[in-house]
Structure 1
Amino acid sequence: MNTAVAQKVQVPDIAAQVTYAMRIMGISPIPRNYELFYEAYIGSNPKLTRELAALGSKATQEELDEIGAQYFGHHHGVTAMDGVHTRIVGELEGLLRLLRQEQTSLESYNRLLDETVVRITGKNATSMDLIRSVIGVLTEATGDTISQGKVMVENVAQKSLEMESVRKELDEYKRIASTDSLTQLANRRAFDDKLSAIYNSTMAHNVTGLILADIDHFKKINDTYGHPVGDKILASVGSVIRANVRKDILVARTGGEEFAMIIEGNNEEEVIAIAERVRVALEHTPFKNSKTGVNYGPITISLGLCMASSAEGPGELYSKADIALYCAKNGGRNRTMPFEDGMKKDFAKNWLIYRR
């Protein structure tokens, strides 16, 4: 993103544009396809955009998945997650079968008890042989029921262990699906989910802030040193940001050279201090190739922020933070700017919740 040279244009409804393009091309509107076309539309990865365009209007699902697997590591988890879902269903069905068997066994035992009561209380229940017979039947039936119960407990325990294993596997796939493969930070999907949840409660608005950050002159870095070096710098910047904030702060790479932080539990002055700590730490971080001695630095970032209490919803919060980021870029870069009323509003981008 180069907000300093952004042009005043009418921001399109990206979701509608992406959905329309997919429909025209006959592309199945499934989540992983939507993500491909979304990323191609916003242009965060020109190479991805070119490869997707090269498929033309008759792209097969196999071709789309091949591109997805190349650029989005979590696409490998799509089929795997489907398989996990199937395994969970299978485990639950097996557990239900066990419970039904136990229910049938108990119902049979209850019927036997009822029949025994009738026989004992009947008029002909005077013979000691009959009583002994009844006691023998009850003893055997009770022993069988207890034995079956023990087996049932063991089977249920085993099913529980198997389902716990599947749950952990599913949690790992979810983590992968919410992680940016390059920086290992949260990705746009996770960021959008967190941003959309901020306004679910009105209690925390005064102590929740959004910081948007953008690496200064990143295009020049890519043009000068190449994209592989650019990728390493992106990963290093992500590491510096993550190392200089609390663990409970969501740090995400939201696209290209853009990063975001959602900070809960701090007022505006404290959020500004957090942003400044990150900015200064990055400014003093050396970016040098240990083998060749080439110095890629200094690397700096510009940051814009807005408190949730200054916006009516996630879209407005994102827009105002982006306006502040634009002002930081336009004001000389390598600085932090909180949103203020009166800032120029022609350059803010729309925020879109990630469509599953």
Structure 2
Amino acid sequence: MTNPKQNAQRPARTEIDAVFVRIAQAMASLGVSPLPRNYALFYEALSGRNPDLARELSALGPSPDAAKIDELGIRHNLASHATLSADKVQAQAVKLLGDVSVAMREATNRKTGFVRQLQDFALRLENDPVVAMSDFADATQAIRDQAAALLRDEASFSGRLTETVAQLSSMEGDIDALRAAATRDPSTGLPNRTAFSARLSALFLDAPPPTALVLVSLNGLRGVGERYGVDALEKALKKLAPIFRKSIKKNDFVGRIGLDELAFLFSDVSAANAEAIVSRIRASIEAIDIPLPERSFTPERLSLSAGIAMTDAASGEADLFSQAELALHAVKASGHPGQLVFSAAVGARSPRLYSPHAA
């Protein structure tokens, strides 16, 4: 028999946990393959983030076809389906260009035949100047008909080529949308972890100016999601996103790389400059009221912890990220919001996570 006292001591399942349980149960009951892109699609549908997707997914009924599920992900521009979308666009472009190539080849063959017909007629006139009038009339009529047919073909091909160019231009827009979906966080509109990884990888290709990597943790945001649901978390992120955008200049970068984590790259700054920038961001974040359901008069306040690492003290991208991560861990371990610039002393306190060459 279940012990009520034990049940009371058991922690309540959070809404976020419940969403993941619902995803697993829904996919299992419908017989959907446990592919990462399917998990991402079901999360979008069942978390309440995309009601239209939820309705369309439900309309597929029991045992939905895998191709139909993929079509939903492509139509809603989910980042998880960006590769499938790109493959589809590429296949369409290849087909269009192939069709145009065939049409051009056929048009060229017809033109070549027409030129040969003219050459044959000219040769007959050279060899036999006194061609019978009936032969001359027949030949000229055939040439005239062939010329008219070529003009019609040219007009048709021109129209087809114009249509193909328009379709390819539309595909270019689709590709831009795919690129945005694959590299943007849907909640904030900021670049996502994929975009951050690409930017970080490019950082050491040339000799970069002194650049600060800042890893940020939004303290309290995860708790908002756990206590009040995904919708409250999403609204909080949307309210905070403009602050992050305004904190960077032209050559800087900010992206959301986790549930409550962001990454900044500040170009051409010193460690002291980076600390000053982070201090301003912290003050802005901590001054924001986060509205919560059924708590109109007692909004939530978040705080910010940050780890800072400088490119001139790192041997490469992995080393830079590790340093910033260790500095962030040190701040969070202190139990107080704040920021910390990585140093050899910070690395020495984390020997199992940090390689000596990075000091």
Task: Tell me the SS of whatever aligns to 1:298.
Answer: coil
Distance 1:103 1:236, change over 3 A: same
Displacement of 1:341 in angstroms is 3.4
Relative to structure 1, is the Cα distance of residues 218 and 150 closer, same or farther in structure 2, using a 3 angstrom cutoff?
closer
State the match for 1:70 in structure 2. 42
- Residue 157 of structure 2: aligned partner: 152
Equivalents in 2 of 1:342, 1:232: separation in Å?
Answer: 39
Matched AA of 1:251 = V
Shift of 1:303: 1.7
Which of residues 212, 219, 234 is equivalent to 1:209?
A: 212
Residue 300 of structure 1 pairs with residue 303 of structure 2: yes
User: C-alpha separation between the residues in 1 aligned to 2:124 and 2:268?
Assistant: 72
SS at match of 1:206: coil
Deviation at 1:97, TM superposition (A): 2.3
For 1:137 and 1:170, locate their aligned partners in 2 and report how far apart those are by CA, in whole Å.
48
TM-score (norm 1): 0.68
Q: How many residues align?
A: 303
Following superposition of structure 1 onto structure 2, how do residues 32-111 of structure 1 map, counting pairs within 5 Å?
61-64=32-35, 66-71=38-43, 76-77=73-74, 78=81, 81-111=86-116
Q: Deviations over 1:32-79 (max 9, x none)?
A: xxxxxxxxxxxxx75676567779999965354553213257971236
Indicate which of 163, 166, 179 corresponds to 1:161: 166
Give the Cα–Cα distance (whole angstroms) in 2 for the partners of residues 106 and 272 of structure 1: 72
1:239-288 Cα shifts (integer Å, max 9, x gaps): 42124334664322211211112344556555444433322221222224
CA distance in 2, matches of 1:141, 1:320: 76
- The alpha-carbon distance between structure 1 residues 120 and 258, as it changes in their structure 2 partners (threshold 3 A), is same
- Displacement after TM superposition at 1:135 (Å): 6.3
User: Whole-Å Cα distance in 2 between the matches of residues 298 and 256 of structure 1?
Assistant: 17
- Greater length-normalized contact order (CA 8 Å, ≥ 6 residues apart): 1
Q: Does residue 112 of the first structure (1) align with residue 83 of the second (2)?
A: no
- The structure that has the greater radius of gyration is 2
| Alignment partner, residue 23 of structure 1 | none
Unaligned runs of 5+ in 2: 1-15, 45-49, 54-69, 75-80, 355-359
Alignment root-mean-square deviation, CA: 3.9
Partner of 1:3: none
Taking a change above 3 Å as real, the CA distance of residues 53 and 131 of structure 1, as seen in their structure-2 partners, is: closer
**Aligned structure 1 segments of 4 or more residues deviating by more than 6 angstroms:** 51-59, 130-136, 347-350
Q: What is the TM-score normalised by the length of structure 2?
A: 0.67
Aligned partner (choices 259, 262, 267) of residue 262 of structure 2: 259
TM-aligned CA distance change 1:53 to 1:142, over 3 Å? closer
Work out the CA distance in 2 between the residues paired with 1:295 and 1:119: 100
| Range 211-220 or range 138-147, more displaced | 138-147
1:286 counterpart residue number: 289
1:320 offset after TM fit, Å?
Answer: 1.3
Change (3 A) 1:262 1:125: farther
Distance 1:141 1:58, change over 3 A: same
Contact 2:306-2:339 within 8 A present in 1 as well: yes
Match of 1:124 among 100, 125, 128: 128
Q: Which moved more, 1:265-274 or 1:331-340?
A: 265-274
Q: Deviations over 1:198-256 (max 9, x none)?
A: 23x314x1244322100124455556655553443344333421243346643222112
- What does residue range 224-235 of structure 1 map to in structure 2 within 5 Å? 228-235=231-238
3-state SS in 2 of match to 1:259? strand
CA 1:332–1:70 in 2, change beyond 3 Å: closer, same or farther? same
Task: Confirm or deny: 8 A CA contact 1:208 1:267 kept in the other structure.
Answer: yes
Instruction: Check the 8 A contact 1:323/1:348 in 2, yes or no.
Output: no
Q: Equivalences for 1:233-248 in 2 at 5 Å?
A: 233-246=236-249
Percent of residue pairs bearing the same amino acid type: 18
Checking the alignment, whether the CA contact within 8 Å between 2:225 and 2:232 is kept in structure 1 is yes
8 Å CA contact 1:320–1:348 kept in 2: the answer is: no
SS in 2 for 1:301: strand
Cα distance in 1 between the residues matched to 2:193 and 2:352: 18
Q: 2:330 aligns with which of 321, 327, 332?
A: 327
